[in-house]
Structure 1
């Protein structure tokens, strides 16, 4: 369909999907829709279009990630969400010089956890402010890098916003 934007196609498919669900969607079509939805969620994150510094939220639970993103959208930082440490590192490879803050859960889907991610960021992007969160305290062998802040779950929006404010006050990290 030349000239048709992908957003329009997505909206049309979403509308069809809603109608099919209302009518009772066949199992084979439901499985296909789930695969397409999963592929869309697995796509690498992209930077927001406007300029400025970025807050990167790394959380595999969608609802928690959405909540953290909503809180951080109240700051001057642009917000990007990732479901895994691997996706976060991929994003950082392209936009690391713009990332002021990384807010990551310790327990993540994928091969890396949030502590390993924090250590990698502290080494590769040392000017990035790190917040690590979890429902349990980090294990003794899971030492956070120097300067990283641990905020236990359930975290308060105020605590996250205080750290975001600190990240925005610091000078922009040098671009390598």
Structure 2
């Protein structure tokens, strides 16, 4: 696993967002909206699945994760692990009922229900800042 700060590889290929959300309908909605903006999307139904994708070395430029999901870890733990193994990889955390103190610790917290278009713009803005 990488220990250096995350830096996207310069490429003409579309940037990739990993979406970890156990609600299949919501995952499909946000994934489609991101794809409509020209991004590649990898979908994960749990934080465990998302961590497996990252650990496999997939070229991911941002992560959008829900907090409460089935499995051995939640989105908060996923966010912490991303910070340890891939520092600098942008992570956007969503939840409808996260403790405010924990929400303040997250890199970017988005309360549910959220405006789909606003979330897409937020991710695009961050990714555009990452372009060399």
Indicate the TM-score class for this superposition, using the shorter chain for normalisation: 0.7 to 0.9
Q: Corresponding residue for 2:66? A: 105
Q: Any unmatched runs of 5+ in structure 2? A: 1-12
Aligned runs of 1:82-161 on 2, under 5 Å? 82-96=44-58, 98-138=59-99, 140=101, 144-145=105-106, 148-161=107-120
Question: Once the 2 structures are TM-superposed, how far is the Cα of residue 124 of structure 1 from its aligned partner?
Answer: 1.2
Aligned runs of 1:23-34 on 2, under 5 Å? none
If each structure's helix is expressed as a fraction of its own residues, which one has the higher value? Answer: 1
Please tell me the root mean square deviation across aligned C-alpha atoms, in Å. 2.3
Structure 1 or 2, whichever has the larger Rg, is 1
TM-score by length of structure 2 reads: 0.79
Q: Which runs of 4+ in 1 moved over 6 A?
A: none
Q: Is the 8 A contact 1:118 1:144 kept in 2?
A: no
Question: Once the 2 structures are TM-superposed, how far is the Cα of residue 141 of structure 1 from its aligned partner?
Answer: 5.1
Higher-RCO chain (CA-CA 8 Å, sequence separation at least 6): 2
Q: Distance in 2 between matches of 1:111 and 1:139?
A: 23
Q: Corresponding residue for 2:126? A: 167
Q: Any unmatched runs of 5+ in structure 1? A: 1-50
Question: Once the 2 structures are TM-superposed, how far is the Cα of residue 57 of structure 1 from its aligned partner?
Answer: 0.5
Q: Is the 8 A contact 2:103 2:109 kept in 1?
A: no
SS in 1 for 2:61: strand
TM-score by length of structure 1 reads: 0.61
Asked whether 1:80 is paired with 2:39, we answer no
Question: Once the 2 structures are TM-superposed, how far is the Cα of residue 143 of structure 1 from its aligned partner?
Answer: 5.6
Q: Decide whether aligned partners of structure 1 residues 141 and 162 sit closer, same or farther in structure 2, where only a CA change above 3 A counts.
A: closer
Give the number of equivalent residue pairs: 121
